[in-house]
Amino acid sequence: MGEACDTGRWNLAGNRPRLALQVLNILQHCIKTVDRALSRQFAVETQARAIDACNDLAELKRIAKTLLSAWHLQTDMTRHFGAQALGITPPSP
């Protein structure tokens, strides 16, 4: 569920005040990560309930087609930016 709390980028060696500050930075990073994950989970649950409550087949088809288009767009963007980050030519879809 979301990104993990990565503590590997902080150097925990050093004097006590510095260590306390570094621990505080780690905790703040983890809290922000959890907040983003919870916000995303809440949004998904809210939208899922709206879909569950919908009895209009035409509306459900429209939603499904919109989600399908968004999924393919995300796939294309991920392929493009992933290739760009690796310095390679993106593969054809």
Identify whether residues 48 and 60 lie together within a single domain.
no
Taking the C-alpha atoms of residue 20 and residue 23, their distance in angstroms, rounded to an integer, is: 5
Task: State the pTM of this model.
Answer: 0.51
For the chain, what is the domain count? 2
Tokens of 47: 């939208």
Range of the domain at 59: 55-93
Identify whether residues 9 and 43 lie together within a single domain.
yes
pLDDT in tens, 9-68: 545 555 567 777 777 778 888 888 888 888 888 988 998 999 999 999 999 999 899 999
Identify whether residues 60 and 49 lie together within a single domain.
no
Nearest by Cα to 3 from 37, 41, 43: 37
